[in-house]
Chains A and B, each alone.
Chain A
Amino acid sequence: MIDASRVDDLLKTLVERFPGLAGELEQVAVAIDGQIFHHARYQSLRPDSDVHLLPPVAGG
């Protein structure tokens, strides 16, 4: 259980718990309630937000 009102809170807590993820999380894309953000650090999270971390993808 992580108490986070913003994505940066979530990522910071994850790094504290899993230091080995620090590098991976530095550039991660974040899906919040179905919307995928490349730059999500200051996106707000609701208590019931559905959050997924995934590699950034753009295209050609």
Chain B
Amino acid sequence: MTDFAYIGTRPIRHDGVDKVTGRAAYGADFSLPGMLHGAILRSPHAHARIVSIDTSAAEAMPGVKAVITGKDIPPNSAKLVLGGEAALDLHDMGDNLLAHDKALYNGHAIAAVAATTVDDAREAAELIRVEYEVLTPVTGIDQAIAPGAPRLHQAFANNIAHRMELKRGDAESAFKDADVVVEREFRTPMVHQGYIEPHACVARIGQDGRAIVWCSTQGPFVVRDACAAILGMDAALIKVIASEIGGGFGGKIVVYLEPLAILLSKKTNRPVKMVMSRDEVFRATGPTSGTKIRARFGAKRDGTLVAASVSLWYEAGAYRGSPAGAGAMCCLTPYRIPNFFIEAHDVVVNKPKVAAYRAPGSPMAMFATESVVDDIARQLDIDPIELRLKNAVSEGDQAPYGPKYGPIGLKQVLDAAKNHPHYQAPLAANQGRGVACGFWFNAGMNSSATITLNPDGSAAVFTGNPDIGGTRVAQALMVAEELGIPVERVRPHVADTDSAGHTDVTGGSRVCYATGNAVIQAARDVRDQLRARAAKIWKTDVDRVGWEAGRAVSLDGADGSAGRDSKTLTVSDLAAQMPHTGGPIVGRAAVSMPMAGPGFAAHICDLEVDPETGRSTVVRYTAIQDVGKAVHPSYVEGQMQGGASQGIGWALNEEYVFNADGVMENAGFLDYRMPVASDLPMIDTVIVEVANPLHPYGVRGVGEVPIVPPLATVANAMRGATGVRFTELPLSPPRVLQGLTEWRQSTFQAAGPTTQAALTRS
């Protein structure tokens, strides 16, 4: 299908006016009569044994209605979804909600209070007396993996919770045959998704044991099933209604508040509202891993990559389950490398348990590998895009994680980058240009969709995916395309868990692909029913009714070809006759989709660096990406720009700063520096469309890939601007200034007396 009437157009999103006028209701906007407010007491220590908890003073305080501790979370057995980037362990999830025996990070929840006001709840939480036995915190990878390091979990022999390897050929032998070998060690800090809206929920459980949860989440079905599993409830007893969501990026898949609000509501028989502060969001929700990565590449003089080895260590936070495995699988994806060795380590440390963050694990891994590839190109004096093109994978090549690639667009993306005016534009003084590639798998998984046809020929589509990136309008476009009705006549709904068929999370770049496919199949179900109604009206067999341009057409013409007969019926005509032709028309579909097929991107960054202060400014940035098919190009471009912005922030400024005791010292947006609009230029975008054969329109997935290239793209631009290869993020002014100073000193010391004298004079 290549000729589209609606797909690829740019209508205004259905939820747009509500969002820009402030009418849209987010998690913290919801309230109920008689509602109590919850607050959480959190550990001041990064690592401590809980000796005792005395809640009596809090419980005696006027206005306090209930206090809960870890004892109120039923014990669950460990059940881990192995590897990947989002390991889930019921035991750990319960222990993360309210600590049982040990506080494992600064901010770990210890107890929760429900009171008549927010202030009372917070004051009562402070009255809870906790006796701790403070333990030595494990605050980083090197400390965690050192012999004799304090162990977070006695059940494990050490702090390395998991290790995996990927191999092909004989890397060590191939390095010996390489003409150039570059090896470096890279470090990235723990960073947060930085969604604007904090976690928030209201829970109400009745005397019949039936609960309703209103919350901000990427996955209402995940919230329902997690609450049911953790609290030992039947899923049918819990209904989750997702609010509008003010950003998630992977961080709003885990439950932090919802089970506690249900427990507090159960104890008080009143609705309970819980809203995190920004401080709590930073300290107690899931950022992504800090990492240490050693990368080594070998190449022939002509630029052919012949060998690579990559060792990755990822912080999981307090419980196992970092995206180290995903990083390992992603780090060499763009290139045909016949010999490689990759090892990945999942390392527990006394920091918040990490959660998914946009292409989890890939940005850090490709920061390392794409920086080294850049150095290879420099050493061989080969244009960095040409070197990448020379080694780029295409359909039929084997991915480093095993299977062969289907149709992919990496070469098309690199060609588009090479030919973009940005890449040819001259640079000014103190400016450097960097390029880098990015990769993500793009998820599939399970989705459902229902479409109801209204008597006037308009329609409503229901799915269970909260709309983060414009998925409502994308789904409406698909219904419009299939039924031939204007997109404005399709009303898309984010349905609750009682109203929608099971649908996995809004994440993994899967919604437009997988849920989109469910919507298309549901629309085709409606279309088939409309053809049957037309057949009834025309007293013919349904096989004699076709569908063209939003109309049922009779095939009973003289030669049997479509459109020969003058009889046609529009959707509105048929909808008006529904009561007479069989009743309401409801289309439905449920799909389980394989992963969408890889998405590749290449970014170009021009960075200007002030050599006196180390401050850098992104002066021009271009993001090029294969998206398969852009259903609504504006929101595809928005995803590309958003991902690039977050990646630039990761590269230049963002980091969790911990003191020696493992306490986060910058838990607020004043000190945790995220880029704002005035920090960035308009990010140019180029959409490349290499159709994905697994989707009817060719959709591939968009949202993850664009956060991957910026880390290396910016670092490579910094290398171009300064001559210094920085291997640790963020490239904040103090770090850059220090690097420049050290480089000047080493250059000065290496120079002869004449050059030293000249440098001194200058």
Contacts and interface: CB of A to CB of B under 8 A. Distances in A.
B594 A37 contact: yes
Contact of A52 (B82, B248, B402, B508): B402
A48 to B, nearest CB: 13
Nearest to B249: A60
Contacts of A57: 83-85, 325-326, 329, 360, 441, 443, 508, 595
B5 interface: no
B384 to A, nearest CB: 27
A59 B403 contact: no
A55 B694 CA distance: 21
A55 B329 CA distance: 9
A58 B361 CA distance: 11
B329 A60 contact: no
Interface string A18-60: 0000011011110101111111000000000010111111111
Contacts of B248: 60
B80 to A, nearest CB: 8
Nearest to B361: A57
A55 B594 CA distance: 14
Contacts of A35: 403, 406, 594-595, 694
A26 B80 CA distance: 10
A33 B398 CA distance: 11
Contacts of A53: 402
Interface of chain B: mostly helix, strand, loop or mixed: loop
B404 A34 contact: yes
Contact of B356 (A24, A33, A56, A60): A60
B743 interface: no
Contacts of A29: 84, 595
A59 B443 contact: yes
B24 interface: no
Contacts of B85: 57-60
B265 to A, nearest CB: 30
Contact of A38 (B83, B444, B507): B444
A37 B401 CA distance: 14
B507 A59 contact: yes
A58 B508 contact: yes
Given A31-B402, A31-B403, A56 B357 contact: no
Contacts of A50: 403-404
What is the size category of the interface that chain B forms with chain A?
Answer: 35 or more
B164 interface: yes
B525 interface: no
Contact of A34 (B83, B359, B406, B446): B406
A38 to B, nearest CB: 6
Given A57-B326, A58-B356, A34 B82 contact: no
B462 to A, nearest CB: 23
Given A38-B445, A58-B356, A60-B359, A27 B82 contact: yes
The CB with the most chain B CB atoms within 10 A, among A55, A58, A59, is that of A59
B617 interface: no
Interface string B49-83: 00000000000000000000000000000001111
Contacts of B357: 60
Contacts of B501: none
A59 B443 CA distance: 7
Nearest to B85: A57
B243 interface: no
A34 B405 contact: yes
Nearest to A53: B402
The CB with the most chain B CB atoms within 10 A, among A26, A33, A39, A58, is that of A58
B592 interface: yes
A58 B82 contact: no
Contacts of B507: 58-60
B83 A60 contact: no
Interface in B571-620: 592, 594-595
Contacts of A23: 82
Given A34-B404, A36-B594, A59 B81 contact: no
Given A35-B595, A35-B694, A58 B405 contact: no
Contact of A54 (B250, B329, B355, B694): B329
Contacts of A36: 403, 441, 444, 594-595
B401 A60 contact: no
Contacts of B508: 57-60
B592 A56 contact: no
Contact of A55 (B84, B358, B446, B704): B84
B431 interface: no
A58 B694 CA distance: 17
Interface string B356-369: 11111000000000
A8 to B, nearest CB: 15
Interface in B337-362: 355-360
A44 to B, nearest CB: 13
20 contacts: A27-B82, A29-B84, A33-B403, A35-B594, A36-B594, A37-B594, A38-B444, A52-B402, A52-B403, A57-B84, A57-B325, A57-B360, A58-B84, A58-B85, A58-B445, A59-B250, A59-B359, A59-B508, A60-B248, A60-B356
A-B pairs, 4 with minimum CB distance = A60-B250, A55-B83, A59-B508, A52-B402
Given A54-B402, A57-B326, 14 more contacts: A23-B82, A35-B595, A36-B441, A37-B595, A38-B445, A39-B592, A50-B404, A54-B329, A59-B441, A59-B443, A60-B85, A60-B248, A60-B249, A60-B360
